[in-house]
């Protein structure tokens, strides 16, 4: 089986990707710096699950350490890299902009350099639906214009796509960028809306509902994201399948449910799953947010024969079950 290096292995998506790879028999080299953007105890708990597999090897490294990443890649010689480490959060980027340049831009550059010098067969990396900004279209397609970001987070993610294309063109590294749409589910990030709402509801506090509840999001369940990531990782781009006019082995895919729902409808599902009614505080739109997102996944379907399909009601129920179990509430 394959040997795959996964950055951000202790993160939400990284943990689930590692677990799926390990379950199918791959060797996984996990990398994470366990930063304190949110409670490191949750990250350590995810890692404790992964350490139950004999074929999981973990390194506490900062991806922005160029020599460290190069040495690790040289020593481990992975066949592929799934790069999920990043500084996440649109709102956090408003007040901590340099963290996004350090982690997302410099960090990705260090990963690209390490791949370049160690003949990695495929680099899959996380982008974001945030790159679409306030695009006025029913569905976001990979060929749409994405040069008007609404946040530095979005700008940093677009930068990773541009750098990946450069390395695919100059050095022939097969790279695939994945634009994730509002991922949710068990072991999620505490800064995301579903997590914040659940905590407030169970503590009897009001939840903040921005844009007076008129937000629409393409909520995508974590298992669907993982399935998409791994199918794409197993199918590196070639000149024949390239999205680049230069023929570089470079591709971009959306991974989303293509079924956006209003924020208020998601809250109803949470109320049903937790058996309580949320007190709501309606607020204006926050800077950096897009009002609506929806993924066109036709390119993903054509390439790997998969589209996300977990209903929101099912995904929210699974999230609620995990939340109650993990936090003992």
Tell me what pLDDT residue 89 has: 87
Instruction: Say whether pLDDT at 211 is over 90.
Output: no
Q: Name the least confident of 47-51, 280-284, 323-327.
A: 280-284
Tell me what pLDDT residue 51 has: 98
Tell me what pLDDT residue 168 has: 98
What structural domains does the chain harbor? 3-187+220-256+294-310 (3.40.50.720)
Instruction: Say whether pLDDT at 138 is over 80.
Output: no
Q: If we measure between CA atoms, which residue out of 115, 14, 16, 7 comes closest to residue 62?
A: 7
Tell me what pLDDT residue 217 has: 92
Instruction: Say whether pLDDT at 99 is over 80.
Output: yes
Residue with tokens 């480490």: 85
Instruction: Say whether pLDDT at 2 is over 90.
Output: yes
Task: Return the C-alpha torsion angle 192, 305, 31, 37, nearest 10.
Answer: -10
Q: What is the C-alpha to C-alpha distance for residues 254 and 307, in angstroms, rounded to an integer? A: 10
Catalytically active residues, by annotation:
153
Instruction: Say whether pLDDT at 77 is over 90.
Output: yes
Q: Tell me if 70 sits within 8 A of 117, measured CB to CB.
A: yes
């Amino acid at each position: 089986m394959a040997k795959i290096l996964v950055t951000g292995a202790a993160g939400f998506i990284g943990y689930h990707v590692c677990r799926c790879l390990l379950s199918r028999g791959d060797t996984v080299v996990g990398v994470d710096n366990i930063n304190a953007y949110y409670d490191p105890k949750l990250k350590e708990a995810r890692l404790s699950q992964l350490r139950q597999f004999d074929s999981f090897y973990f390194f506490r490294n900062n991806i922005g350490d160029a020599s460290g990443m190069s040495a690790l890649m040289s020593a481990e010689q992975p066949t592929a890299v799934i790069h999920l480490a990043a500084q996440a959060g649109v709102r956090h980027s408003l007040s901590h902009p340099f963290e996004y340049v350090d982690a997302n831009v410099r960090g990705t550059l260090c990963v690209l350099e390490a791949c370049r010098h160690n003949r990695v067969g495929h680099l899959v990396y996380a982008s974001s639906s945030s790159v679409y900004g306030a695009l006025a279209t029913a569905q976001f397609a990979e060929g749409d214009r994405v040069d008007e970001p609404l946040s530095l987070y979005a700008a940093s993610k677009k930068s990773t796509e541009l750098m990946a294309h450069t390395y695919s063109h100059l050095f022939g590294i097969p790279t695939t960028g994945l634009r994730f749409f509002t991922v949710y589910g068990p072991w999620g990030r505490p800064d995301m809306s579903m997590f914040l709402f659940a905590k407030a509801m169970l503590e009897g506090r009001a939840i903040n509902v921005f844009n007076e509840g008129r937000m629409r999001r393409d909520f995508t369940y974590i298992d669907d994201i993982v399935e998409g990531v791994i199918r794409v990782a197993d199918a590196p781009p070639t000149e024949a399948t390239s999205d680049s006019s230069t023929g570089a082995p470079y591709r971009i895919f959306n991974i989303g449910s293509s079924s956006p729902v209003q924020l208020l409808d998601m809250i109803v599902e949470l109320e049903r799953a937790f058996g309580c009614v949320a007190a709501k505080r309606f607020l204006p739109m926050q800077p950096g947010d897009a009002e609506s997102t929806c993924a066109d996944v036709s390119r993903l379907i054509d390439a790997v024969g998969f589209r996300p399909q977990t209903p929101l009601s099912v995904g929210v129920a699974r999230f609620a079950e995990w939340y109650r179990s993990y936090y003992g509430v």
